[in-house]
Structure 1
Amino acid sequence: MSGFAWGAFGGHLAGTACAALAVLLVAFAVGLRTGRHRVVDVAWGVAFTAVALTSYGLSAGHGDSGRRLLVTVLTAVWGLRLAAHIAWRGRGHGEDPRYERMLAKAPGSRAAYAFRKVYLLQAALVWLVSLPVQAAGYVTGPMGPLAIAGGALWLTGLVFESVGDRQLALFKADPGNRGKIMDRGLWSWTRHPNYFGDFCVWWGLFLLVCDAPAAAAATVVGPVTMSLLLTRGSGKALLERHMAERPGYAAYVRRTSGFFPLPPRDRVPPRERG
């Protein structure tokens, strides 16, 4: 069982909070200048990367060097890929309708409301979700089977969300698919391969701290929070409310798993159905 440098870890938490806040403050300035607060979605992945890099620097001399490097690289690869994908997807578009609706209800200054309800909230969530990434740098023992399993789960998640995003982008790029529901490839196995991928990524990163059980127990709030965001917050639940009235979506819901990948129900031969 590995040890954990509790004193050093506790002392570094303010530094990582400042890193997350700094990225979101820059994003806020960009949002004000451009009039498009959708930039915060790009900043989400960048902020996780900034927290991981800050934690890597602060944890030097405290935790296992291999684990410190691995958790930093895995977080940065995920965060920067996500940021680049969202930036590419949003190029040439105006404000995100979600933020338009939110800011239309602002009681007073729209900028102040956006700062409180969007940017500060995102900075706090980045810091909270990334607690296992921060803690992994302070695990003193070498990586064991749990860390290896975490790396494998992270890779599964990254492949799932990357392939899912690519499949959806190609589908939308075909004018013949306008108004249709994407139900091919990974999207025939789960209605949200990208969100399922994020789920795997963050539980995989959590496993990297599980060689120190007490630290894992103290930071499990990170992947739990991400899971709730993906399934009940701004992820799956919000998107499905938006898609509910689309022609063909109800049928897609009936035949396709809501989150965890499962074989499409309409592919089961009639004689095997109950």
Structure 2
Amino acid sequence: MESTYLQALGLILGMGAVTWIYSLFRRDVSIVDSLWSLMFLAAAILYLSRSPTVNLRSVLVLSLIAIWALRLSIHLTLRNWGQPEDRRYREIRRNNEPHFAFKSLYIVFGLQGVLAWIISIPLLFALYPVTHFHWLDVIAVILWLVGFVFESVADWQLFRFQKNEANKGKVLDTGLWRYTRHPNYFGEFCIWWGYYLLAVPGDGWWTIYAPALMTLLLLKVSGVGLMETEITRRRPAYQAYRETTSAFFPSLTEVFRTKKAH
């Protein structure tokens, strides 16, 4: 298993290098966002291909990974299509000139590749041949489904909101965004803890650091922390939204209030 895991690093970094070359022609490194989830899918396919046996459970796990990865990649590609380089990467570019074109190979693509490789380790154990379904699989799939619904529906609601010119400068506070300021990140959180639970029956209980790292990224690095700072600066109305809506976990109070209203 160790050699398979190391092979995945080479595969992921190779994908990053090829996409980096493409980014040089476009002068846009934000295409790495579309690559992110595909790195996990490529690693998962490699892990399963090296597994001694393939059974119904492993096919189910790979299917969950593929559905999540392809949806996220397609969504980000469509969202960014025809748009200039994302402001986050423009700032990184400004802070790393001169020669950012070369530096982006390791600052952007290499770094995200290594992070994806580290976080992918529960997938290796989730895809390792477990001869029968485990009771944890039920909890894992339910958690994955909750996460997928939150992430996909929230992304669709935000995409539709932003496409409406009448909403320019406004804050989305309806739908899933009524219960948490970041329902898409909460969905991602659920999905990765679901993957971890799928790894436990394959003796992957010790890989808990991977979903923990993903949670840290979502809360403090590239997710909630970064978005809160940017949005509050750009949209003054966001401050009022912050005061009435949970930052990450859906507010149960708001859920019950909605049920009573109906």
Query: TM-score, normalising length from structure 2?
Result: 0.93
The partner residue of 2:65 within 75, 78, 83 is 75
What corresponds to 1:22 in structure 2?
A: 14
- In the superposition, relative to structure 1, how do residues 157 and 180 fare at CA in structure 2: closer, same or farther (>3 Å)? same
Please give the per-residue CA displacement for 1:245-272, whole angstroms capped at 9, x wherever unaligned: 312111100100000001466x96xxxx
The partner residue of 2:230 within 242, 255, 262 is 242
Query: 3-state SS of the aligned residue for 1:198?
Result: helix
Q: Does 1:129 align with 2:115?
A: no
Q: CA deviation at 1:139?
A: 4.5
Q: Does 1:104 align with 2:73?
A: no
* Correspondences of 1:81-92 after superposition (within 5 Å): 81-92=71-82
Once residues 18 and 70 of structure 2 are traced to their aligned partners in structure 1, the CA distance between those partners, rounded to angstroms, is 16
Q: Does 1:10 align with 2:2?
A: yes
Query: TM-score, normalising length from structure 1?
Result: 0.89
Query: 3-state SS of the aligned residue for 1:220?
Result: helix
* Correspondences of 1:1-274 after superposition (within 5 Å): 9-61=1-53, 65-106=55-96, 108-212=98-202, 215-245=203-233, 246-263=235-252
Once residues 148 and 263 of structure 1 are traced to their aligned partners in structure 2, the CA distance between those partners, rounded to angstroms, is 23
Once residues 49 and 221 of structure 1 are traced to their aligned partners in structure 2, the CA distance between those partners, rounded to angstroms, is 20
Q: Which runs of 4+ in 1 moved over 6 A?
A: none
Query: Identity of aligned pairs, percent?
Result: 36
Contact preservation (8 Å) 1:195, 1:235: yes
Q: CA deviation at 1:49?
A: 1.0
Q: CA deviation at 1:100?
A: 1.2
Query: 3-state SS of the aligned residue for 2:29?
Result: coil
Once residues 165 and 25 of structure 2 are traced to their aligned partners in structure 1, the CA distance between those partners, rounded to angstroms, is 33
Contact preservation (8 Å) 1:103, 1:113: no
The answer for unaligned runs of 5 or more in structure 2 is 258-262
Indicate the RMSD between aligned Cα atoms, in angstroms: 1.9
Once residues 64 and 130 of structure 2 are traced to their aligned partners in structure 1, the CA distance between those partners, rounded to angstroms, is 19
Once residues 157 and 64 of structure 2 are traced to their aligned partners in structure 1, the CA distance between those partners, rounded to angstroms, is 23
What corresponds to 1:271 in structure 2?
A: none
Contact preservation (8 Å) 2:4, 2:47: yes
Once residues 119 and 14 of structure 1 are traced to their aligned partners in structure 2, the CA distance between those partners, rounded to angstroms, is 18
Equivalenced residues, count = 257
Q: CA deviation at 1:57?
A: 0.5
What corresponds to 2:260 in structure 1?
A: none
Contact preservation (8 Å) 2:48, 2:128: no
One-letter amino acid matched to 2:33: D
The answer for unaligned runs of 5 or more in structure 1 is 1-8, 269-274
Once residues 71 and 220 of structure 1 are traced to their aligned partners in structure 2, the CA distance between those partners, rounded to angstroms, is 18
One-letter amino acid matched to 1:94: P
Q: CA deviation at 1:223?
A: 0.6
Contact preservation (8 Å) 1:168, 1:182: yes
